[in-house]
Structure 1
Amino acid sequence: MSKLEPRHRGRGAQSGEVSQRFGLAAREADGDWRDAMEALDGPPVKLRTTVTEEHPKTILTFNQSPDIRFDRSINAYRGCEHGCVYCFARPTHAYHDLSPGLDFETKLFAKPNAARLLRETLSRPKYIPRPIAMGTNTDPYQPIEKRYEITRQVLELCLETRHPVTITTKSDRVLRDIDLLAEMATHNLVVVAISVTSMDPVLSGKLEPRAASPTKRLSALEKLVQAGVPVHCSISPVIPAITDEFMEEIIRRAGIIGVDGCGWIPLRLPHEVAPLFREWLDVHYPDRAGKVMQIVRSIRKGRDNDPSFFGRFKPSGVWADLFRARFRIACRRAGIENKAFNLETVAFRSPTRDGQLSLL
């Protein structure tokens, strides 16, 4: 099978179709009109990233999912410029009449009042502290964090109030906040997980075109360890016949660094992610596209995706058992014990709305 040329270099998705899952009106560019415009103005200009500021009324999201370890999260941004083609958060853009494909990684939204909203929530008399998860939907350290510093502002508040936080990222930009993270670690308030999907920078450039390279992510893990910050290496997602070959090497490197734990999550393809990923395979790996999807379906009960609680994170079948065995053996060889993280909550002190700590 011949390899297709990427239509949008430097981007994970190759298409920008708007989903019809929510019954929104379809948008279609007329071919004659498009050809006429290109004849007059030339080919379309390179896609640019835009950021829209939004001001929600609340910032802390609660969930009751039985298979997720956290019950609350903060997402300072919607959309993610990293452009990871497999990102399970892509369908969230569909609800806003935006494409889960190219719009998700080019039309971003920032919430600059996140820290203020969080302060209001933490000030409530009946608020009970439990770890806040950051990076559960989109990356808190994607490139626009350099401009907005929303994640840093939230961490400053959490340090002030002694509130525990967990962070998941694919960016070495997390090191910009190493001063806060190191101090939070002395109070047992933080755990940082960095996702490493492969050891091949070329492959990573196709999968996650604007995320940090594998070397930078491993370097960030090492620097966090040296600073005394508890860290976790997440091999996520594991893509059969594409990235699974790197599992043992990533774990070996993580063991040398001295990470506190390591984990893996199989590829998930909810809703619009499945056709986007199939398209990505046709562009970059047409020779094995069929094999990849066959294995994916074999661990997902014959479907592209298993959305059921527990099943979505725990694949079944021969291939899933093989991945689990490889993971266990690699962790044992690397000396990684995968100990549990139990963050401090009793030291929490409620702030007041004007920024002064409560005397009680």
Structure 2
Amino acid sequence: MSDSGDTNMDANPPMETSASEPLRLVEALRSLSWECWGMLRLEDNISAHSLGLVLSTEEIETQKALLAQVQTQLLPSLDTQLADLLESLDLSASATHPNPDFHDALGITSGIHSTFQTLRSCMTFLAPPHIYDYIVPLNDDEDRGAVKTFRNQSILVDFWDVTTRLRQLLQEYDQLIHLEYHLGGNQGQDFEDNDEADEETALLKHRSEIIRLTANVRGGIKDLIRWSYCSDFQKKSECTSNEIKLHQDHLKLMRSIIPLIKLLRLFFNKITGTPRSKPEFILGNVNSKEYFILETTGQQLEDSIRQLMSFCAALPEAGREIHKKTDQIEKEIRNLGEGISRILISVSFLILPLRSGPEQPSSGSSIFKTNFQELKYALFEAQGELRDALFAYSWSYARVFLPNNP
């Protein structure tokens, strides 16, 4: 090969080790996640900008230009980039063995980072970074058109909602890459001592969650664009309808918790429900009469779900503390998910036949293993529905408690 092949460098980039590009992508995703976190923390930095102050004609025109850039360029670009990132990692088809293009994914992630930084700058210029200290605009606010104070504030709330979902999506990418490429650290789960089936189950769960969250974030972006174009009259009309939707979403949130309770009861009934009229049997290392040990753990988990349910029931009285409340609920749901995962892993170790044993698993073991896997997926699905319901409720709640045109 000629030494003068500088012109071929872009066409033939140097090959990297299989571990270096996943690690670099994780670092890029974490940097973007921190950028999202920084945006969400801006509400602690109160600014006097555009809070009912008189703006010059030039300042109003600047805001209108920024809003147009957000509507027509930045948000559509972010939507496309998220779809491209999913495709570059070959996750859109939920492939068992995806063939990711990390070089492409790194470039896309860099583009997302740049787009988000510009969006953050635009949003913080359009609206103050503290949405709860409302000041009644002066009369000249009516002349601002699409950049009235209440409109800018509502866009900021919507953008915070999209940012929260985006950060959760980035964390799922982080966990998937750590698990699939064994990067180490404390991300995801460690299956070194477990069988391959559990690791593959976790990988499929993360891939499915990434696909779901990508659709969720992109849907939020499209809603934000649509909302930003609404007239003042449409906004007022939609806010009234949102009061009804809030109650519907709250009911959906409460109902989404109930399947978790039912599934857990079913799960532990299958473990502990050996009729006295039937002889004892053994699955793996545990005798059927000893399954009551796990019953206490199941009851504790069910109690934690009931506690979460009571907490959600009190949300309508939370007033403008919605973001603090939803942060706490997300933490409780995360703890709940970790508790379910710990129980599933413990049960799989105790009950499922060990592959290293010379004996063949009994038919009873095979039947239980099938039920175990089905319940495992059902629990993960119920958790996902609970998170979706939380986002929908939070979205409607913020809509209702935002002021209309003062």
Larger radius of gyration: 2
Q: TM-score, structure 1 length as denominator?
A: 0.26
Greater percentage in strand: 1
Q: TM-score, structure 2 length as denominator?
A: 0.23
Greater percentage in helix: 2
